[in-house]
Structure 1
Amino acid sequence: MSATSDDLIDLGYRAEDMSRQELERCTILTAREEGLLRKLKSPGQRLLIGPRGSGKSTYLRLARYQLQDEGVALPIYVNYAKSLSLEPELRRDPSALAFFRQWVLALILRGLSQATATLELELADTQTSRMRLATQVADAVERRRVDQAPPSDFTLTEVLETLEVVSEVARRRRVVLLLDDAAHAFSPEQQREFFEIFGNLRSRVVSAKAAVYPGVTTYTPRFQVGHDVQVSDVWLDPSDPDFIPMMSEVCEKRLDPDSFSRLRSRRGALEYLALASFGLPRNLLSMLSQFLEEDDDASLKNTTQLCDSAVRDSAAATIKVFLSLEEKLPRYKNFVAVGSDLVGACIDAITEYNSRRAGSAKVVSVLLQEPIPSEIDRILGLLEYAGVVRRSSNLSMGPKSFRQVAIHYSLLLSNGALALGRNPSVEQAVQGITQRDSSPARVRRTLTSLLGKDFLSRCKLDMAACQRCGTPREIPEARFCSHCGAPLTDASIYEELLATSIEKLPISQKQLDRIIAAGEVRTVQDILTDEENVKLLAAEYIGPKRAAQIKAVADEFIYE
């Protein structure tokens, strides 16, 4: 079988795009996953936190289906992924924040309407008409026709009361709100407004759970994470003994028997790719798809070459996700630059350390000496959002304390940081990652040694200058220029993301070259507005499945 674009292995990357049957068939539930689901189904507020592709949507949707079947609580699933499409209105009209609040509440009522339709419940005309209005408001935003949204006056009290009434009609003791994509693409103003609402989405009957990202979420001062709401981390740990068996089972369920057999016949490939995913299922599925495509002509590449090719592209895509924050969070452009330097310096430090030590056990993390300035802590959070690094608990060594930071394994592997020698085998790479050095020596570094003495001076917010006189803003919230008094406006992040070159998308260079050569697509907006993917299909070796995947990546670039 030739893995051309038309018969590309369809691994169903996004939980949002999978049916219930597909989701349940492809998901492995260990004791850890079962515990997470119990927390999502229980009373009380909870945040589900993890980087992109860590499985937050999978857990929320599975919790929804289990609650439906158990019949004790009424689940309401809501996805706020399209929030950024409201951002241009917020830039042009400060009163748009009030509409944003209406939209947040409208989506809950629309989700409730969908749940009542599934259960075939009969409600009072007043409730039905209000949910119909909510659906019109929500649909207008998703169609990018905010000006066509009908006037609305939803209140938090009304929403809570409606949820309680419907729970009684449905004969369910509780209502569980499952709020997906709850606080990433929102502007800081939107995020604060959202958490004002979320913090009050509770009653004797109602509780809310929300999926958020590390490093990019802005909470309101009155909303205390860990006090007002409990947090569950969904990120899988590659060092867990159950990790590789679990990933192997996921692959077996996702792949057809022939493809899985081909994968298993390549000794060590599955383990290598699973570890290189850094505990992020989406990374693994992307590498598997590429591996199986290139495995078609087995005479051209051995197992190590196939794996290394997939890992290199995965590492490049991971870095692109982090660098895309320059567009998504323009004020933090300088932070992204420093973060990129920090990762490079950490990889160099790990390479140096591993090169000087004998034996197969390798080091995959750096210990950063405390204290860690708030600016660097913010940068580490941004890196964690993209899955580039993973922060662990602090370690004390004598009078000094250190923050342990693991670097994405695909970056270490593609940069030779494990110092495995020339042309290392897949088995050597797996051994280097999984074995741990028992020596007390560690890669310990100060931030100054990694970034130079002036690193803090580089961690400055990049605030847009006055468009009339060019004077930089003194504070981010300034509305008028301190020099000439002219109104200060920010460019629309949403509109700038749409205009971004496709070269910023985390897809392979081969695909980019083919799309660019076709001459039809240049920006992210070109992909999203490409009806039936006609322009993408004009590119060589890109068929319907590959085009759909590329469009999904473009959608994630805007809304995740």
Structure 2
Amino acid sequence: MTSDSLFIEQAEYINPEDFIEWSSEHPNEEVILKKLTQAGAKLLTGPRGCGKTTLMLKAYNKLNSSKNNGAFPIYVNFKLSLKLEPLYKSKANGGYWFSQWMYLKIYEGIYKSLESKDIGKDVNFHIKLIEIEKAMSLLELGEINREELTNLNLSTYILNNDINIAMNLVNKTRCVLFLDDAAHAFAPEQQHDFFEFFRKIKSRNISPKAAIYPGVTNFSPTFNIGHDAEEINAWINPEDDNYFAFMIMMLRKRLPAEVFEKLTQEESLLSIMCYASFGIPRMLLNMVRNMYVENEEDGEITYEINFTRKNVLKEVKVCTQSVMSIYSSLELKLPIYKHFVEVGNVVFSRIIDLIKTYNKDKQVGLKSITVAIKKETNLNLKKIIGFYQYAGLLSEKGQISKGEKGIFDLYLINLSFLIDSNALFAAKKVKTDDLATALKTRNAHAFTRTQADYLLQDEECKLSLSLPPCQKCGKNRDNEEARFCSNCGSPLKAASIYEELINQDIDALPLTTTRISGIKNHSNIKKVRDILFDIDHKELNSVPRIGQYWAAKIYYIAEEYIS
């Protein structure tokens, strides 16, 4: 096993054997897995990297390994669903083709589940596996006029019947449908169509479970959370009593014993890193990987470990930059909300300043990491906070009533930003132990109160959608629903989010400047699309210092960028 493979963060890319060995138990795992494996529709929600896929795969493996009881599990990953988004812009029946692609993905999952139980591919389903793979490839390329798609006419009814056939083959009376990375595409039309399917496929013997993002998911008008599905929060709360123990267990399973032993000798520094990751295991792994270097000489592996306060704080800053890049990416993924994202940067700075002011003279054990915003109907601020939740800048804690002062919504602020901005102490010199103690110790009454009109001031309240102008005369659109230009009468074309993302320069990817420069100088890769369409990573493999592992990783990064 290579050192690099230890730091594959996305669960869907980890080998099954390593997945079992490396997976740590989520603090609420027993409850979550019970809900995911039993009957009923569920929505598993949480920011990027919080472990939704890990929980989905654990639930799938649990059911798949059950011989007697349990259900027939089907696992599907919809990460590439945005590839279908251009069809909504160019074709009147884009929703139909997206639905066909969804059905095909689920059929692919059915075949894989049956294969894991040594049941052959020659099952009497409505469509064969070889036809599925060909049709999905054509749809993802947008080639809907090909002859192979002429007779493609799948439906919820047909899928339901074939799922029942599969259940009979494995002697199960119910099915759990795991829909991972569901509704992650940022096209509202796709999200609406997905949730219509989710609502329709739910039945007495079929229980859909979908992983979604908080804050940016658009449910269909007929879909009601609570009635159509129960929400399950997958995020690991840093305020939970067993939070630190979970993070330590994950590192114990992932790190070489010598490295782990060294890190645990500096408990305060380790605490700072764990809490700075803000409940996102992926962030902690990213920080830890830069604390040591693996050397191999004559078959002997040694480790050069540099676990210092300076390096830890450096990685905390990198962590904030990573989270902020996810937030900033919304300008491309949700272009009509560009102004909201821009103003959101100012609002978040005000929140940090409020907490810093509150904490200035507070004792180490009484520091605030929470902001309380008076509950109001400011829809613009609500939208911005939703974007914060998606990126992991904050997490909703609930509400608190302060009597005549009103009801306040509580939000836990990403701890890496509080550390990096020194908002916990507002002092130049802070002891490492004090910083670790302030992060660990909580006081129920330590929070900073504010109101919407302070966070969104004056002209900032009058946020408008950033609608693309008329392609012919350049006049701004009157509203989001306009189909023809009010000035010249020309049809207004909707921009494709997918096309916009894949045509970005590779500078937009979270890669080092040196890595990006090397790729550009030694290959024909210049844009994100060049990486995604690089068959067998031939171009990437031609770049010096990029081998099989890094070629695959860069492809995954590009894939993650558009998902």
User: Aligned in 2, Cα 1:534/1:360: closer, same or farther, shift over 3 Å?
Assistant: farther
Residue by residue over 1:514-556, the C-alpha shift from the partner in whole angstroms, topping out at 9 and shown as x without a partner, is: 6667786543234334456566567776665445433322211
Equivalent of 1:403 in 404, 409, 431: 409
User: Aligned in 2, Cα 1:417/1:123: closer, same or farther, shift over 3 Å?
Assistant: closer
Whose relative contact order is higher, 1 or 2, with alpha carbons under 8 Å and at least 6 apart?
1
User: Aligned in 2, Cα 1:173/1:467: closer, same or farther, shift over 3 Å?
Assistant: same
| Higher alpha-carbon deviation: 499-508 or 46-55 | 499-508
Matched, 1:335 2:340: yes
Structure 1, unaligned runs of 5 or more: 1-5
Question: Corresponding residue for 1:381?
Answer: 386
Question: SS of the residue aligned with 1:454?
Answer: helix
Equivalent of 1:476 in 467, 480, 485: 480
Under a length normalisation based on structure 2, what TM-score does the superposition of the two structures give? 0.91
Question: Corresponding residue for 1:168?
Answer: 168
Structure 2, unaligned runs of 5 or more: 296-302
Matched, 1:13 2:12: no
Matched, 1:361 2:366: yes
Question: SS of the residue aligned with 1:10?
Answer: helix
| Higher alpha-carbon deviation: 349-358 or 501-510 | 501-510
User: Aligned in 2, Cα 1:472/1:30: closer, same or farther, shift over 3 Å?
Assistant: closer
Q: Which amino acid aligns with 1:83?
A: S
CA distance in 2, matches of 1:510, 1:418: 34
Residue by residue over 1:160-204, the C-alpha shift from the partner in whole angstroms, topping out at 9 and shown as x without a partner, is: 111112211221111111001110115111111111111011223
User: Aligned in 2, Cα 1:95/1:43: closer, same or farther, shift over 3 Å?
Assistant: same
Q: Where does 1:313-352 land on structure 2 (aligned, <5 Å)?
A: 313-352=318-357
Q: Is the 1:294–1:306 Cα contact (8 Å) retained in structure 2?
A: no
Q: Where does 1:405-554 land on structure 2 (aligned, <5 Å)?
A: 405-419=411-425, 421-437=427-443, 440=445, 442-457=447-462, 459-507=463-511, 521-530=525-534, 544-554=548-558
Question: Corresponding residue for 2:228?
Answer: 228
Residue by residue over 1:385-424, the C-alpha shift from the partner in whole angstroms, topping out at 9 and shown as x without a partner, is: 1111111111111221211122211111111111263343
Question: SS of the residue aligned with 1:337?
Answer: helix
Equivalent of 2:60 in 61, 64, 69: 64
Question: Corresponding residue for 1:47?
Answer: 43
Q: Which amino acid aligns with 1:394?
A: Q
Q: Is the 2:83–2:141 Cα contact (8 Å) retained in structure 1?
A: no
Question: Corresponding residue for 2:271?
Answer: 271
CA distance in 1, matches of 2:47, 2:21: 24
Q: Is the 1:83–1:186 Cα contact (8 Å) retained in structure 2?
A: no
CA distance in 1, matches of 2:418, 2:493: 41
User: Aligned in 2, Cα 1:324/1:70: closer, same or farther, shift over 3 Å?
Assistant: same
How many pairs were matched up?
550
Residue by residue over 1:18-51, the C-alpha shift from the partner in whole angstroms, topping out at 9 and shown as x without a partner, is: 1222112111225610211111111111111111
CA distance in 1, matches of 2:513, 2:267: 27
CA distance in 2, matches of 1:405, 1:216: 17
Q: Is the 1:361–1:431 Cα contact (8 Å) retained in structure 2?
A: no
User: Aligned in 2, Cα 1:165/1:517: closer, same or farther, shift over 3 Å?
Assistant: closer
Question: SS of the residue aligned with 1:317?
Answer: helix
CA distance in 1, matches of 2:537, 2:130: 32
| RMSD, aligned α-carbons | 2.6
Matched, 1:24 2:20: yes
User: Aligned in 2, Cα 1:258/1:59: closer, same or farther, shift over 3 Å?
Assistant: same
Residue by residue over 1:88-108, the C-alpha shift from the partner in whole angstroms, topping out at 9 and shown as x without a partner, is: 222111212211111111211
| Higher alpha-carbon deviation: 262-271 or 334-343 | 262-271
Question: Corresponding residue for 2:208?
Answer: 208
CA distance in 1, matches of 2:363, 2:179: 49
Q: Where does 1:149-188 land on structure 2 (aligned, <5 Å)?
A: 150-151=149-150, 152-188=152-188
Equivalent of 2:132 in 129, 134, 137: 134
Residue by residue over 1:198-245, the C-alpha shift from the partner in whole angstroms, topping out at 9 and shown as x without a partner, is: 101122321111111111111111110111111101000111111111
Question: SS of the residue aligned with 1:290?
Answer: coil
Q: Where does 1:71-82 land on structure 2 (aligned, <5 Å)?
A: 71=67, 72-82=70-80
CA distance in 2, matches of 1:188, 1:10: 36
Q: Is the 1:368–1:403 Cα contact (8 Å) retained in structure 2?
A: yes
Q: Is the 2:27–2:243 Cα contact (8 Å) retained in structure 1?
A: no
Question: Corresponding residue for 2:217?
Answer: 217
Q: Is the 1:313–1:508 Cα contact (8 Å) retained in structure 2?
A: no
Question: SS of the residue aligned with 1:395?
Answer: strand
Q: Which amino acid aligns with 2:273?
A: L
Residue by residue over 1:51-96, the C-alpha shift from the partner in whole angstroms, topping out at 9 and shown as x without a partner, is: 1001111111111111011133110111111111111222111212
Question: SS of the residue aligned with 1:231?
Answer: strand
Question: SS of the residue aligned with 1:268?
Answer: helix
Question: Corresponding residue for 1:3?
Answer: none
Question: Corresponding residue for 2:298?
Answer: none
User: Aligned in 2, Cα 1:36/1:368: closer, same or farther, shift over 3 Å?
Assistant: same
The alpha-carbon deviation at position 133 of structure 1 amounts to: 3.2
Q: Which amino acid aligns with 2:417?
A: L
Q: Which amino acid aligns with 2:308?
A: T
Residue by residue over 1:260-290, the C-alpha shift from the partner in whole angstroms, topping out at 9 and shown as x without a partner, is: 2232234433222111010011111111112
Under a length normalisation based on structure 1, what TM-score does the superposition of the two structures give? 0.91
Q: Is the 2:364–2:437 Cα contact (8 Å) retained in structure 1?
A: no
Question: Corresponding residue for 2:285?
Answer: 285
CA distance in 1, matches of 2:416, 2:266: 19
Matched, 1:111 2:116: no
Q: Is the 2:126–2:158 Cα contact (8 Å) retained in structure 1?
A: no
Q: Which amino acid aligns with 2:411?
A: V
CA distance in 2, matches of 1:237, 1:509: 33
Q: Is the 1:68–1:75 Cα contact (8 Å) retained in structure 2?
A: yes
CA distance in 1, matches of 2:133, 2:288: 39
Q: Is the 2:327–2:391 Cα contact (8 Å) retained in structure 1?
A: yes
Q: Is the 2:368–2:446 Cα contact (8 Å) retained in structure 1?
A: no
